[in-house]
Chain A
Amino acid sequence: MKFAVIVFPGSNCDHDTYYAVKNVLGMEAELVWHKDTSLHGADVVVLPGGFAHGDYLRTGSIACFSPIMTEVKRFAEAGHPVIGICNGFQILLEAGLLPGAMLRNRSLKFQCEQVFVRVEQVDTPFTVACQQAQVLRIPIAHGEGNYYAEPEVVECLEANRQVLFRYTTPAGVVMPGANPNGSVNAIAGLCNVTRNVVGLMPHPERSCEDIVGSAEGLVIFKSVVQAVTNGLQDSGSIEPLLGR
């Protein structure tokens, strides 16, 4: 199966994601330029981290007008798996594929550090290989990762079990000190209603090998391989997963 890693001008985790998928996971991967209008037959789309268009105007706001985004939206609407990591998450928010917005970190500073996130739901293509409530040690690196949505939207997200990852202590406890950026309900990642589009602020592609400090992010990529292999792709919808 094949991953498309979208390259926007200013993306800087594109090579890291490509490396994780291709060299660590052993899957096919292709870097797809943002002016391209085809996903080249990919089974999974990744919007990588970075500073697309220099974060100018607003994070992710210019990237969602790139030609490739029309294809990404079509792909997502057809039920195929799409994940946005960090800046990719911000782009998904701006593109309206996920609800909510990002504010500056509570500290008002860029923060780069290892954090712990608890897996809240395992019935999505990007968490299917995780254990319920499994705690993953994955790094963050962002200045605007303070997730915000209107209270009624957050309520809806929780009711629909769309919150996939929450910042916690190493033991998996949600508490203020374990929330690095002030995100509402300690939300680190979420999915859309149809559960095939996922955004998360931490960088799983940076934690795929022990030599760089953690291999605990690999399970997210393994999940989607498992999900696609088990038929999500063939059915053209997310029905098999919803039934889990």
Chain B
Amino acid sequence: MSSNKTVLTDDVLIERHGLTGEEYQRIIKILGHVPTLTELGIFSVMWSEHCSYKSSKVHLQTLPTSGPRVLQGPGENAGAVDIGNGLAAVFKIESHNHPSFIEPYQGAATGVGGIIRDIFTMGARPIALLNSLRFGLLKNSQVRRLFTGVVAGIGGYGNSIGIPIVGGEVGFDKSYTGNPLVNVFCLGIAKVDEIIKAAASGAGNPVYYVGAKTGRDGIHGATMASAEFDENSAEKRPAVQVGDPFMEKLLLEACLEAMKTNALVGIQDMGAAGLTCSTCEMGSRGDVGIEIDVSLVPQRETGMTPYEIMLSESQERMLLVVKQGHEAEIEQIFEKWDLHAVQIGQVTADGKLRVKDQGAIVADIPNRLLTEEAPIYHRPTAEPDSLDTMRNLTFSLLEKPLKTLEVFRQLLRSPNVASKRFVYRQYDYMVRTNTIVSPGMGAGTVRVKGTNHALAMSVDCNARYVALDPYAGAQLAVAEAARNVACTGALPIGATNCLNFGNPERPEIMWQFARAVEGLGSACRALEIPITGGNVSFYNETDGESVLPTPVIGVIGLLDQADKVVGRRFQEADDVVVLLGEGFGELGGSEYLELAYGLIRGVPPALDLERERALQRLLVYSATAGLIKSAHDCAEGGIGIALAECTFDSGLGVEANIVGISNDLSETPFAEVATVFGESASRVVVSVEKKLLDEFLDRAAKAGVVATVIGRVGGSHIRLSIDDRLVIDESQAEAERIWAMALDEIVESSRAVA
């Protein structure tokens, strides 16, 4: 190795690798010598925030990760829960925020590709995708470019590979202008006893490389995701990878076929930090070493150095450890799919990652230095000074609200509330013929062929709430995702999270993060939903401005009988409309305040997790017992918007009368909007057949859920009264037109102007 040893004392070089001086000294100390350039590159990616979780680890360790159904918690490529019939649901969510800002189509597409690989690496066939997206305001032409590009990229990859995108959420806030969030969730099904781990074992077993050739794309992608953006970020374009969904489709089918043999020891995809991360993590998990020769790695560019090969993030590549003597069996399968499986090294007993170039050692590092012994930081936290001001909401200083009907129309048109058909129409949400609740109709739900079961899934986060109170906001996100799943009749059984925050080196960001993780853990404990994995994305900032703290929660739920699934839409005229839960006129952090005054102010709605739990259990019971015909959560825009949404795509109107709020707004001009558009938590609108009403109300009472009959389905209008005084009277068709067309109109009309 001596011939290759370069003495690196250049501070600039160290800084360019995203390492601090202290970290560099630590490398020298634990390695026992000055690293070679290849070694420095390997350390820099493995110790990056993205791969090491060095700022978040101490907090994430507090999350509840176990439960009777949990088959695999955090630490593998994805989590897994038991869904009966010998089957497991394997799922996870991941971010691809930074690449999507630099190159929206490819950034988003490769985000889809990455999370799909995480799922099939576990031996599961991916059967559904969700996306959680955040953008700035659509009046900005750059934002429109990002929005349309990201949506096209997600569709382009998902459609081609044939995995349906069955739901998700899209939100808009100016804080995301220079830093969109692109989070993609994937769920797959595996046989419990066929789940495959990403651990190497058995010294002498061959290590194979399969999939696309290695190029210079994506070098230092993980390091890029661990820094903020500034005006020079466009220069980082070469760090974005380009996706090839066709290659991934072949890889998916070939890997699933290879896994059915008994010839595989372990498998891992080459995602962030590519060959480096996959080799040292597989070795580390199995307590063995891996030795590879980079000159054997298939390359699509000439003259690549060991450094470049080890750090490339070229897409659609997998690392396999094969049982000695079974090489031909595996090679044949990949040959069938026109892919080449190339042996690039073998498992060793010494616990080291050893990289050779035509036989000469260029890096030799004990795995544990890269993984377990990576730095862990207890970063300082401090409550932001601005929080007191933000939480203070004085209504008397605000202009009087517009007429409730006018606010209603404006809310329907708001991109946060309006139909996301513009987005999901570009997604193939039906392929695999399992989708029983399609996008826009409730939590995405897929049946599990060969069983009576179905799985419902939802990703949610109201970042305004998190900004105002990270602890409560994260709890509310868990509650909302689980409630959406429960509305279909599915029992929430597992969660994953994608925590999108700013720069963790800033104490106020770290405070947001720490509080949000506490809230997340407490809500998951109370609702008995274990967290089986996830992803942290820090440094979501541009020019020092952070995005709203956005801990996106994905919850999956199990429906015992797929044919009992319940959707958002009203089903039949004369059905009774019942409100579960109570409204307290809470406007803190509401869509209304943002829409009418451009304010993110106040305190988020109060959440009682015991009540939430009771509500969700009631929904699951009622769906299974066939007591309810539709169920829809009250979220942004409160009950006014929820009622309208229940009528959309149903061709039916609704007439409802609700009780006015009694709080400090009761006697103010804000009483009406607070009653109709307040966003109190734990509320669901259900419709019930008349003859089952008594039975349902009885059930609700026994469950301890407040259930109020508020009206009936039918007619051609949406009519809402407060204490018998009509405040909204709108043609159902017109309300639906406003809501359905809003996003198309905003994107198309602004394009015309631009």
Which residues of A have CB within 8 Å of B336?
Answer: 33, 35
The verdict on A212 contacting B433 (CB below 8 Å), with A12-B249, A51-B249 known, is yes
Segment 643-665 of B: residues with Cβ below 8 Å from A: none
Q: Does B430 contact A (CB under 8 A)?
A: yes
The verdict on A112 contacting B425 (CB below 8 Å), with A13-B162, A51-B160 known, is yes
Instruction: Flag if A16 contacts B433 (CB, 8 Å).
Output: yes
The verdict on A54 contacting B246 (CB below 8 Å), with A9-B338, A213-B438 known, is yes
Segment 149-169 of B: residues with Cβ below 8 Å from A: 152, 155-156, 159-162
Roughly how many angstroms separate A97 CA and B525 CA in the complex, as a whole number?
A: 61
Q: Does B331 contact A (CB under 8 A)?
A: no
Instruction: Flag if A110 contacts B447 (CB, 8 Å).
Output: no
Nearest-neighbour CB distance to chain A for B455, whole angstroms, equals 14
Which residues of A have CB within 8 Å of B152?
Answer: 109-110
Determine which of A9, A54, A139 lies in contact with B430 in the assembled complex, contact meaning CB atoms within 8 Å.
A139
Roughly how many angstroms separate A56 CA and B245 CA in the complex, as a whole number?
A: 11
Roughly how many angstroms separate A206 CA and B162 CA in the complex, as a whole number?
A: 13
Instruction: Flag if B433 contacts A206 (CB, 8 Å).
Output: yes
Nearest to B446 among chain A residues (CB) is: A212
Nearest to B247 among chain A residues (CB) is: A54
Residue in A35, A208, A211 whose Cβ sees the most chain B Cβ within 10 Å? A211
Segment 28-63 of A: residues with Cβ below 8 Å from B: 33, 35, 49-51, 53-56
Which residues of A have CB within 8 Å of B329?
Answer: none
Which residues of A have CB within 8 Å of B427?
Answer: 110, 112
Instruction: Flag if A211 contacts B436 (CB, 8 Å).
Output: yes
Segment 424-458 of B: residues with Cβ below 8 Å from A: 424-436, 438, 447, 449
Roughly how many angstroms separate A8 CA and B693 CA in the complex, as a whole number?
A: 53
Roughly how many angstroms separate A13 CA and B563 CA in the complex, as a whole number?
A: 23
Nearest-neighbour CB distance to chain B for A104, whole angstroms, equals 13
Segment 186-244 of A: residues with Cβ below 8 Å from B: 203, 205-206, 208-209, 211-213
Determine which of A20, A35, A56, A111 lies in contact with B246 in the assembled complex, contact meaning CB atoms within 8 Å.
A56
Which residues of B have CB within 8 Å of A109?
Answer: 152, 425-426
Instruction: Flag if A16 contacts B432 (CB, 8 Å).
Output: yes
Q: Does B173 contact A (CB under 8 A)?
A: no
Q: Does A113 contact B (CB under 8 A)?
A: yes
Instruction: Flag if A211 contacts B447 (CB, 8 Å).
Output: yes
Instruction: Flag if B431 contacts A16 (CB, 8 Å).
Output: yes
Instruction: Flag if A53 contacts B246 (CB, 8 Å).
Output: yes
Roughly how many angstroms separate A23 CA and B162 CA in the complex, as a whole number?
A: 20
Determine which of B161, B247, B424, B435 lies in contact with A212 in the assembled complex, contact meaning CB atoms within 8 Å.
B435
Instruction: Flag if B155 contacts A110 (CB, 8 Å).
Output: yes
Determine which of B160, B244, B338, B430 lies in contact with A203 in the assembled complex, contact meaning CB atoms within 8 Å.
B430
Which residues of A have CB within 8 Å of B250?
Answer: 9-10
Roughly how many angstroms separate A50 CA and B156 CA in the complex, as a whole number?
A: 12
Which residues of A have CB within 8 Å of B485?
Answer: none
The verdict on A15 contacting B246 (CB below 8 Å), with A9-B338, A111-B425, A211-B562 known, is no
The verdict on A51 contacting B430 (CB below 8 Å), with A111-B425, A141-B159 known, is no
Roughly how many angstroms separate A168 CA and B587 CA in the complex, as a whole number?
A: 46
Instruction: Flag if A10 contacts B428 (CB, 8 Å).
Output: no
Q: Does A19 contact B (CB under 8 A)?
A: yes
Determine which of B337, B424, B426, B438 lies in contact with A9 in the assembled complex, contact meaning CB atoms within 8 Å.
B337
Roughly how many angstroms separate A49 CA and B428 CA in the complex, as a whole number?
A: 12
Determine which of B155, B161, B436, B449 lies in contact with A12 in the assembled complex, contact meaning CB atoms within 8 Å.
B161
Instruction: Flag if A10 contacts B433 (CB, 8 Å).
Output: no
Number of residues on chain B facing chain A (CB within 8 A): 34
Instruction: Flag if A110 contacts B159 (CB, 8 Å).
Output: yes
Segment 1-17 of A: residues with Cβ below 8 Å from B: 9-10, 12-13, 15-16
Roughly how many angstroms separate A10 CA and B427 CA in the complex, as a whole number?
A: 17
Nearest-neighbour CB distance to chain B for A180, whole angstroms, equals 10
Which residues of A have CB within 8 Å of B338?
Answer: 9
Nearest to B437 among chain A residues (CB) is: A213
Number of residues on chain A facing chain B (CB within 8 A): 34
Nearest-neighbour CB distance to chain B for A101, whole angstroms, equals 20
Instruction: Flag if B431 contacts A12 (CB, 8 Å).
Output: yes
Instruction: Flag if A19 contacts B449 (CB, 8 Å).
Output: yes
Which residues of A have CB within 8 Å of B161?
Answer: 12
Which residues of A have CB within 8 Å of B449?
Answer: 19, 23
Nearest-neighbour CB distance to chain B for A36, whole angstroms, equals 11
The verdict on A54 contacting B160 (CB below 8 Å), with A9-B250, A10-B249, A16-B431 known, is yes
Roughly how many angstroms separate A53 CA and B250 CA in the complex, as a whole number?
A: 10
Which residues of B have CB within 8 Å of A211?
Answer: 436, 447, 562-563
Nearest-neighbour CB distance to chain A for B438, whole angstroms, equals 7
Instruction: Flag if B432 contacts A15 (CB, 8 Å).
Output: yes
Instruction: Flag if A19 contacts B430 (CB, 8 Å).
Output: no
Which residues of B have CB within 8 Å of A212?
Answer: 430, 433-436, 447
Determine which of A23, A54, A209, A213 lies in contact with B244 in the assembled complex, contact meaning CB atoms within 8 Å.
A54
Roughly how many angstroms separate A109 CA and B151 CA in the complex, as a whole number?
A: 11
Which residues of B have CB within 8 Å of A56?
Answer: 246
Segment 288-337 of B: residues with Cβ below 8 Å from A: 336-337
Nearest to A17 among chain B residues (CB) is: B433
Nearest-neighbour CB distance to chain B for A219, whole angstroms, equals 17
Nearest-neighbour CB distance to chain A for B740, whole angstroms, equals 12
Roughly how many angstroms separate A208 CA and B249 CA in the complex, as a whole number?
A: 25
Which residues of B have CB within 8 Å of A15?
Answer: 432
Instruction: Flag if B425 contacts A113 (CB, 8 Å).
Output: yes
Instruction: Flag if A10 contacts B431 (CB, 8 Å).
Output: no
Which residues of A have CB within 8 Å of B433?
Answer: 16, 19-20, 205-206, 208-209, 212
Nearest-neighbour CB distance to chain A for B153, whole angstroms, equals 11
Nearest-neighbour CB distance to chain B for A32, whole angstroms, equals 14
Instruction: Flag if A51 contacts B245 (CB, 8 Å).
Output: yes
Nearest to A15 among chain B residues (CB) is: B432
Nearest-neighbour CB distance to chain A for B311, whole angstroms, equals 27
Residue in B246, B429, B563 whose Cβ sees the most chain A Cβ within 10 Å? B246
Nearest to A53 among chain B residues (CB) is: B246
Instruction: Flag if A112 contacts B160 (CB, 8 Å).
Output: no
Roughly how many angstroms separate A13 CA and B430 CA in the complex, as a whole number?
A: 10
Nearest-neighbour CB distance to chain A for B715, whole angstroms, equals 22
Determine which of A20, A23, A141, A205 lies in contact with B428 in the assembled complex, contact meaning CB atoms within 8 Å.
A141
Which residues of A have CB within 8 Å of B562?
Answer: 211
Which residues of B have CB within 8 Å of A16?
Answer: 431-433
Nearest-neighbour CB distance to chain B for A19, whole angstroms, equals 6
Q: 8 shortest A-B CB distances, which residue pairs?
A: A12-B162, A54-B246, A141-B428, A51-B160, A16-B433, A112-B428, A110-B426, A206-B430
CB pairs A–B below 8 angstroms (26 shown): A9-B246, A10-B249, A12-B160, A12-B162, A13-B162, A15-B432, A16-B432, A20-B433, A51-B249, A53-B246, A54-B246, A54-B249, A110-B152, A110-B155, A110-B156, A112-B424, A141-B428, A141-B431, A143-B159, A203-B430, A206-B430, A206-B431, A211-B562, A212-B430, A212-B433, A212-B436
What is B's interface to A at a CB cutoff of 8 Å? 152, 155-156, 159-162, 244-247, 249-250, 336-338, 424-436, 438, 447, 449, 562-563
What is A's interface to B at a CB cutoff of 8 Å? 9-10, 12-13, 15-16, 19-20, 23, 33, 35, 49-51, 53-56, 109-113, 139, 141, 143, 203, 205-206, 208-209, 211-213
20 further interface pairs, Cβ-Cβ under 8 Å (given A51-B246, A110-B155, A110-B159) = A10-B246, A10-B250, A12-B162, A13-B162, A19-B449, A51-B159, A51-B245, A51-B249, A55-B160, A110-B428, A112-B429, A112-B430, A139-B430, A141-B159, A143-B159, A211-B562, A212-B434, A212-B447, A213-B435, A213-B436
